[in-house]
Structure formats: structure tokens, C-alpha cells
Structure 1
């Protein structure tokens, strides 16, 4: 499983918004500059996160973006599911795909499922608050 640049940048942007939580809106240009991400690309990512109600936009001279919820309520899995779609290692684990004739007797499917479940459980257990605490500790 290889995460896209969109997911990596999106998670970094969300951590930045979490670090500024309750301090007002953060301009996209500030996030782009601090994270060294193209502002145009970041705008595409933020639009997806906004459409998923993970961030809100604030208009005006003091405008920018804020988290829609408290950082302890937003998980890495929430963000990845918006930016990656389904978080699965192999296509046969994606329940919406019905192509595999070996699905019920596949020797390796349970291995992929266990690995995939561990990844998903980990992503669901890490919140933006956790990442902010790690950032502040220098980890």
C-alpha cells in the first residue's frame, strides 16, 4: 500500500490546522508556505476535505480555513478515506468489488485482511490531537 502525495500533504495540512485550532482561520498561503506545498495543489486537497465537512472556510480579510470539529474527534482514517477513497491493501478486500472467483477459498486473503485491519485500526486510533502532541514533543 502506497499513500498518495495528496494524502500525505492533506494530513500535514490538517495537522497544521489542528495546531492553530481555536486561534482563528489559517490562510491557505500560510499552510502552503510552512509545509512547502504548492498552494494550488493544496487548494485542491482542502476542497475535498471541505466537501467532506472536515474543514470549514472563513471568508474575508481574516479568512482562511478551520477544522470543522475538535482535533480529538478527527482521525487519520477520516482524512485518508476522503483523500484515498477505500483504504485497502488489495482489491479483493474491497467489498464493492465482486470480481474474484477465489474469494471464498483464497489462501492469502486472510493474511491481507489481517494486515489491512491492523492498518485501518491504527489509522482509526490516531487523532489530529495525538499528532499535534507528537509535533509539540518534537517527534
Structure 2
């Protein structure tokens, strides 16, 4: 499995975290450089955040992007839903479409996926953008880095 979230969702968290950690209007070019993400791709991700009302933009020399709320007012779930559309781990539980899986009544795994979906949503909705910016990635200890590698 390549991962539960696409690059769009992961980059949405990174760009929102970057904006949250800088005061005032922030150039998307500066965010792209700091985050090592292409400017073109960030344009797409930020447009999703703008459409959700999470960022505002201003043109011109002193323009850029900024958050519309305080970092503690954004849950990670809100940001990921705006980027991904759904947090459902499997398509049959994706409530953003009107189609129901024809096997859902007889599926032996649906309860596992439903429970995973609930745990994921509870975790992501229980953490905010402020939690991301409070953690300095350069200050990670060796145990944190090693435990991340053990997950693979």
C-alpha cells in the first residue's frame, strides 16, 4: 500500500503549516522553496484551500497567501477533507459519491474499514494545525526517526 493519503493531502498539510508559521502574507514561491514542492503543484493545492475558505490571497508585490483563521481553528481532518474529498480508507465507505457498494450488506470486512475510518477521523479531527507548527521537525530525536522507519 502506497499510503492512505495522496501527495495532495500531504502537501495541503505542509502548505497550511508553512502559512501558519509565518506572519502576514506569504509568497507561494517562498513556500515552494522551503517545502521543496513545485510551485505549479502548490498552486493547485492552495486553490483547494482557497475554495474551502481556509486561505485568502492578495495580488501584488506585498501579496501572497494567509490563513483566514487561527491555526488552532483548523483540524487536520478539515484540511485533508478539503484536499482529498474524503478520509474513507476504502471507496465503498466514501460518502462523497451517491453510489453504494453492491457488496456492503454481505461484506465480511466492512466493519473493519468502518472502524478504521472512525479512528482515523477521530485522530485527525482531534489535532489542529497548531499541533503541526508546535513541533519543530529539526528537533526530532533519534527514537522518533527510527520509529517512523519501523513503520515501513
* Structure 2 segments unaligned to the other structure (5+ residues): 141-152
SS in 2 for 1:29: helix
**RMSD, aligned CA:** 1.7
SS in 2 for 1:62: coil
Whether the aligned pair in 2 keeps the contact of 1:91 and 1:97 (CA below 8 Å) is no
Per-residue Cα deviation, 1:60-102 (whole angstroms, up to 9, x for no partner)? 2211100011100011111111111111111221234434233
SS in 2 for 1:66: strand
Per-residue Cα deviation, 1:33-69 (whole angstroms, up to 9, x for no partner)? 1111111111111111111101000222211100011
Matched ranges for 1:12-27 at <5 A: 12-20=14-22, 23-27=23-27
Whether the aligned pair in 2 keeps the contact of 1:71 and 1:129 (CA below 8 Å) is yes
What TM-score does the superposition give when structure 2 sets the normalisation length? 0.82
Matched ranges for 1:31-50 at <5 A: 31-50=31-50
Q: Aligned residue for 2:114?
A: 113
* Structure 1 segments unaligned to the other structure (5+ residues): none
What TM-score does the superposition give when structure 1 sets the normalisation length? 0.89
Instruction: Give every structure 1 segment of 4 or more consecutive aligned residues whose post-TM-superposition deviation is greater than 6 Å.
Output: none
